[in-house]
């Protein structure tokens, strides 16, 4: 039961992370109640930090399906819990670092961290395939 709760926390954290960047984008862009009528248009017109935070949000949403599928498949196929947790935590930490790099505009380091973050769910799927 304890291992399942760890998996749930991984999934919850990964799902909430894009919203952290969305909030940063809106705050940095000077979001107001008036902008709530069309928030996507507002965010599309932002520049600087707000635009980078919005891009981090979008990329976080884009990587989420692969992460969720890999964790759920690994759990379903009863992959070693330590492996799931290690790669899951690594993914979360790397995605946070990725977002920070996006916010401070460190493009090269951001790209390197992106590769490592995407390697985590891919490795989970590869290890899961070995169980088949």
> Length of the chain, please?
132
Sole residue written with tokens 């070693």: 80
Dihedral sign (CA 43, 46, 50, 54):
positive
pLDDT for 36 equals 82
pLDDT in tens, 52-82: 999 999 999 999 999 999 999 999 999 999 9
The CATH code for residues 2-129 is: 1.20.120.550
pLDDT in tens, 96-125: 999 999 999 999 999 999 999 999 999 999
Distance CA 55, CA 73 (A): 28
pLDDT in tens, 1-36: 457 899 999 999 999 999 999 999 999 999 887 778
Mean pLDDT computed over every residue of the chain: 94
pTM across the whole model: 0.93
pLDDT for 2 equals 54
Distance CA 35, CA 64 (A): 27
pLDDT for 15 equals 98
Higher pLDDT, 88 or 34: 88
| Both tokens assigned to 14 | 């990964």
Residue ranges per structural domain of the chain = 2-129
Q: What is the per-residue DSSP string for 45-80? A: T--HHHHHHHHHHHHHHHHHHHHHHHHHHHHHTT--
Distance CA 63, CA 113 (A): 13
């Amino acid at each position: 039961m304890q291992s399942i709760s760890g998996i749930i926390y991984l999934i919850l954290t990964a799902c909430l992370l894009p919203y952290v960047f969305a909030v940063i984008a809106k705050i940095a862009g000077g979001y107001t109640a008036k902008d709530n009528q069309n928030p996507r248009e507002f965010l599309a017109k932002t520049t600087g930090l707000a635009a980078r935070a919005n891009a981090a949000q979008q990329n976080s949403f884009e990587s989420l399906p692969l992460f969720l599928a890999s964790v759920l498949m690994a759990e379903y196929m009863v992959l070693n819990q330590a492996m799931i947790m290690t790669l899951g935590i690594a993914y979360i930490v790397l995605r946070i670092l990725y977002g920070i790099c996006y916010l401070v505009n460190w493009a090269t380091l951001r790209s390197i961290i992106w590769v490592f973050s995407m390697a985590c769910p891919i490795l989970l799927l590869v290890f899961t395939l070995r169980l088949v």
